[in-house]
Amino acid sequence: MSKFPADFMIGAATAAHQVEGHNIYSDFWAMEHVPNSVYKEPSLDAVDHYHRYEEDILLLRNAGCNTYRFSIEWARIEPVKGEFNEQEIEHYRNVLNFCHRHSITPVVTLHHFSSPKWLISEGGWESEATIESFGKYCRYVVSRLGQLIPYICTINEANMGKQITKIMKRMMSAGTHKKKDTADVQVGLNVDMGTRMEHYYRELGETFGIDPSKVQPFLAPRSKQGELIIMKCHETARSIIKELHPAIQVGITFSLYDHQALPGGEVSVRKEQQEDLLDYLPFLQEDDFLGVQNYSRKIHGPEGVVPPDDTARLTKMGYENYPAALGNVLDFVALHWSKPIFITENGLSTDNDEERVEFIKQALNGVYRRIEKGIPVIGYTYWSLLDNFEWQLGYDQTFGLIAVDRSTQTRHPKESLSVLGTISVGGLEG
């Protein structure tokens, strides 16, 4: 058996809006409910994790896992600007205390894509004012809950806006939509809705009370100024966390592909790696760890990214099922980052749980080999604990270790949950 270090964290992750339900003060709730929404369906009660978190965390713990990464929902904490909801703080206090009582290490994300509706009405993630607003939210949460939180990810996939920007540019330069480009991004987006987008954005302008061109949620194409605002939000949050609770380990997470070059594709690979991670490193020097989120690889030729060939196995998301990608990404990150690395997301959307089991074993074999090489990987949280709301793609995607019958909210643990827990307790076979 290949056993991970005794203090290695293995578990699963969720995001508040995708699992809790009835996140009515959030920008996503608003975007899901306009008449020409590009969302396949609204989130509604999601998988009711808000009320069923004890059951879900116990399923994780009883399988043998020791870590749960989840997000605190800003729109619940501050539904109206400047008005903080103490009842919601108590809810998350209960979640954290339940984790500790059951020997689960909680890893908290302060922002996982969804924002308060009022924030978008004030300019969202392209507004300098968001830096101060995010700081106030972070101060409120950490001042009340910080003693219960050992690890904080300030912002989930800080580079996602840049990745969306690149997709949109490729689509515009192509002039047609011969192929859906959803496989080019590691999140559930509909990016080829054509003229419907015009109606959608007009309605968003009305919903948020601003010019439609000024609607800037987190999952949107981002300017260079917007990129800087994200990094300033992170630096502000880190400073506040360290001021209030210096022992909390602070990091940020990035969506990272395993970029591989065919002959002539080397320049394209270097460009993508620079844009995906290296551009951000100057802002991370005071961080305690780096959150790595990987799902697949991208192959580059002389003209840029090339689609998988006909022999490639694809996930339900449309990108390649390639578990070896994670280890390769760790190799790349370790060339530029010497502090601890936390794999905060890695997973597979499939209706065949045997594929998920195979994916987890192969991905974690790659992680184990990198730890043996001396790469300081401290944890792995599979995405996701539960089948859940995959943003614009709705409920069709099945990443979870636990299936949910949403008509009754009944949980059905999959074999993959047991396998992950067994690896946590006893290690990998062979």
CB 236 within 8 Å of CB 134: yes
The long-range contacts involving 38-43, CB below 8 angstroms and separated by at least 24 positions, are: 38/190, 38/193, 38/196, 38/197, 38/200, 38/392, 39/190, 39/391, 39/392, 39/394, 40/190, 40/392, 40/393, 40/394, 40/396, 41/394, 41/395, 43/17, 43/18, 43/389
User: Which bin fits 174, alpha (ψ -120 to 50), beta or left (φ > 0)?
Assistant: alpha
Strand-strand pairing, 258-261 and 297-301? parallel
Q: Is 241 exposed, middle or buried (0-12, 13-18, 19+ CB in 10 A)?
A: buried
SS3 260: strand
Q: Amino acid identity, residue 79?
A: P
CB 151 within 8 A of CB 287: no
Taken as a whole, the chain contains a residue count of: 430
**Residue 265 CB: number of other CB atoms within 10 A?**
21
Nearest alpha carbon to residue 14 among 382, 406, 321, 363: 382
**Residue 88: active-site member:** no
Token pair belonging to 406: 């949403």
Q: Which of 157, 203, 320, 345 is catalytic?
A: 157
The answer to whether 261 and 148 have CB atoms below 8 angstroms apart is no
Cis amide bond preceding 384, omega within 30: yes
Selection from 270, 372, 360 nearest residue 324 by Cα: 360
How many angstroms separate the CA atoms of 227 and 378, rounded? 28
Based on DSSP, count helices (H) and strands (E) in the chain, helices before strands. Answer: 14, 13
- Coil/strand/helix, residue 310: coil
In degrees and rounded to multiples of 5, residue 320 shows phi and psi of -75, 140
CA atoms within 13 A on the CB side of 342: 28
Task: Return the active site residues.
Answer: 157
